[in-house]
Amino acid sequence: MSIPLEDNFEDIIGKAQRGLSLNSEMLASQANISPEELEALRAGTIDETSTRLVAASLNLHAESLLALGRHQWQPNPVSLDGLLVFNTAWHDMTVNAAIVFDPASKHAAIVDTGADATPIIDAVAAHGLIPSLILITHTHPDHIAALPALRDAFPNAKVFVGHGELFKDAHPVSPGHVFSLGAVSVEIRETSGHAVCGMTYLFHGLAAPVACVGDALFAGSMGGGMVSWARALETNRKELFSLQNHTVVVPGHGPLTTIGEEKAHNPFYPEFKSPN
């Protein structure tokens, strides 16, 4: 199943504008365009000149933003032995969950829950997996909605969540902690900003590293800075963009991507690209 991009052209402009606390009047003035031209962009009308001016004011990479607006980029499909991804409906959107497992021993971790546990429970049975961990990237409702059902299905699996978002019957986890799943290891990195204590779970031991990032990073976008926009940008740069280019990124919404693809195509990180 092909999962569409989480954010479109106008979403990205709006997200960056909110993150920088710029109202439309301020942004139009700073970009030296009319309020009408800005509103056209925010409605999804692509004008190259206005887009480049607004991108400069919002610290966005103009070429990547234009490519998204013109539907010229989508991440290449990712398939990896030891990785299963589930996309379930949550109100008017969809949300991802994943199972990462050691193909030899079948020891597995479930990352986030999605809105419906049924596909995860069915996949565990179909692949003969042994889930010992349920790892929560952050506690926004769409990412933990099916947790009660998973706990019932897998009573021996321990639930872990970031130390700053601890809830009943979960165990705290902090950066630097490492789990083992047979030949697969799980490294913990904190990627807060969208959430109070967002966690990325970085799996080593498969054909490529796998980073389950929650809403810290999306294909071609990122989660909004609900806690701190500056912190969200900073932790992504430090904890995610420092990873190897072939690292597979499993976001909380939208399609899978890689760190290399995001360096090349994500408008929020112009420093990894050629100048506009």
Q: Within a domain: residue 23?
A: yes
**Listing from the earlier edge strand, what are the strands of the sheet with 93-101?**
83-90, 93-101, 107-111, 130-136, 158-162, 171-173
Give yes or no for a contact between 219 and 257, defined as CB atoms under 8 angstroms apart: yes
Please indicate, yes or no, whether residues 55 and 98 belong to a single structural domain of this protein: no
Burial letters for 142-170: b for 16+ Cβ neighbours within 10 Å, e otherwise?
A: bbbbbbeebeebbeebebbbbbbbeeeeb
Give yes or no for a contact between 144 and 136, defined as CB atoms under 8 angstroms apart: yes
Residue 84: its H or E element: strand 83-90
Give yes or no for a contact between 253 and 87, defined as CB atoms under 8 angstroms apart: no
Between the alpha carbon of residue 247 and those of residues 137, 204, 211, 226, 254, the distances in Å are 18, 10, 7, 26, 17
Please indicate, yes or no, whether residues 140 and 266 belong to a single structural domain of this protein: yes
Q: Within a domain: residue 76?
A: no
In terms of residue numbers, what domain contains 265? Answer: 83-272
Q: Within a domain: residue 30?
A: yes
Domain at 50, CATH number: 1.10.260.40
Domain at 237, CATH number: 3.60.15.10
DSSP string, 31-66: HT--HHHHHHHHTT---HHHHHHHHHHTT--HHHHH
Please indicate, yes or no, whether residues 177 and 46 belong to a single structural domain of this protein: no
Q: Within a domain: residue 100?
A: yes
Name the domain boundary from 69, 92, 119.
Answer: 69
- pLDDT at residue 2, as a whole number: 84
Q: Within a domain: residue 1?
A: no
Rounded CA separation 251/241 (Å): 14
Give yes or no for a contact between 106 and 123, defined as CB atoms under 8 angstroms apart: no
Q: Domain count of the chain?
A: 2
Please indicate, yes or no, whether residues 133 and 261 belong to a single structural domain of this protein: yes
Please indicate, yes or no, whether residues 252 and 230 belong to a single structural domain of this protein: yes
Beta carbons within 8 Å of 122's beta carbon, 6+ residues apart:
none
Name the domain boundary from 47, 69, 91.
Answer: 69
For 23-74, write each residue's pLDDT tens digit.
999 999 999 999 999 999 999 999 999 999 999 999 999 999 999 999 999 9
Rounded CA separation 202/187 (Å): 5
Taking CA 201 as the corner, what is the angle to CA 198 and CA 203, rounded to the nearest 5 degrees?
Answer: 170
Please indicate, yes or no, whether residues 214 and 102 belong to a single structural domain of this protein: yes
Please indicate, yes or no, whether residues 17 and 112 belong to a single structural domain of this protein: no
Please indicate, yes or no, whether residues 61 and 139 belong to a single structural domain of this protein: no
- pLDDT at residue 101, as a whole number: 98
- pLDDT at residue 275, as a whole number: 65
Tell me the β-bridge partners of 133.
Answer: 109, 158
> Residue 164: which region, alpha, beta or left (left: phi > 0; alpha: psi -120 to 50)?
alpha
Please indicate, yes or no, whether residues 118 and 244 belong to a single structural domain of this protein: yes
- pLDDT at residue 178, as a whole number: 97
Please indicate, yes or no, whether residues 56 and 143 belong to a single structural domain of this protein: no
Q: Within a domain: residue 78?
A: no
Q: Within a domain: residue 126?
A: yes
Q: Within a domain: residue 92?
A: yes
Please indicate, yes or no, whether residues 142 and 257 belong to a single structural domain of this protein: yes
Name the domain boundary from 18, 42, 69.
Answer: 69
Residues of the chain falling short of pLDDT 70? 1, 275-276
- pLDDT at residue 149, as a whole number: 98
Please indicate, yes or no, whether residues 63 and 182 belong to a single structural domain of this protein: no
For 10-24, write each residue's pLDDT tens digit.
999 999 999 999 999
